[in-house]
Structure 1
């Protein structure tokens, strides 16, 4: 059995961290988590984790435009969770517009 010498792993070059790239995107425009995950190329779950840290205020104020039902127009104003709701409590429709995030 051949033993291969271990080479030191070199981390890939990054100009910015994923969180900084998210902050840069959100300073330019309002985006839903799905669009952020596509542009940064990470999962939506990771985006939500980063948004929780951004929400703490170190990078500026995270402003969330609440989700809304496309069927009846109900707006989820009191919702504190960053993840969008599954369905409307009024009409039970699953056609929910995602919340939009920006840095203010």
Structure 2
């Protein structure tokens, strides 16, 4: 299948099968805003459910206090709920 024939979600899934990536990295690769990438990842996770693959998510992590117990892993938090720092690493997604 040619790249032009693939949907955004197919290209996203292929990228996640190749290597782990953050929403910002995927946004640059797919020419989308990071929040749109997160919405697409939600749909990709439903697509791989029930197959021999699974979407794995490394949670966002506060660089100041280490907090990583976020309720919604498919989110781009702007601040840490624990220490209120804005130094939060994005989640990382991969399909295995």
Q: What TM-score bracket applies, with the shorter chain setting the length?
A: 0.7 to 0.9
The answer to whether the 8 A contact 1:66-1:79 is kept is no
**Corresponding residue pairs, total:** 91
Q: CA RMSD in A?
A: 1.8
Instruction: Please list every run of 5 or more consecutive structure 2 residues that lacks an aligned counterpart in the other structure.
Output: none
Q: CA deviation at 1:71?
A: 0.5
Query: TM-score, normalization: structure 2?
Result: 0.83
Aligned partner (choices 43, 67, 70) of residue 74 of structure 1? 67
Instruction: Please list every run of 5 or more consecutive structure 1 residues that lacks an aligned counterpart in the other structure.
Output: 1-12
Q: Which residue of 1 aligns with 2:35?
A: 45
Give the SS at the match of 2:93: strand
What is the distance in 1 between the residues matched to 2:88 and 2:33?
20
Query: TM-score, normalization: structure 1?
Result: 0.77
Structure 1 moving runs of 4+ over 3 Å: 57-60
Tell me which protein shows more helix as a share of its residues. Answer: 2
Q: CA deviation at 1:65?
A: 0.4
Does residue 61 (structure 1) correspond to residue 51 (structure 2)? The answer is: no
Q: CA deviation at 1:93?
A: 0.5
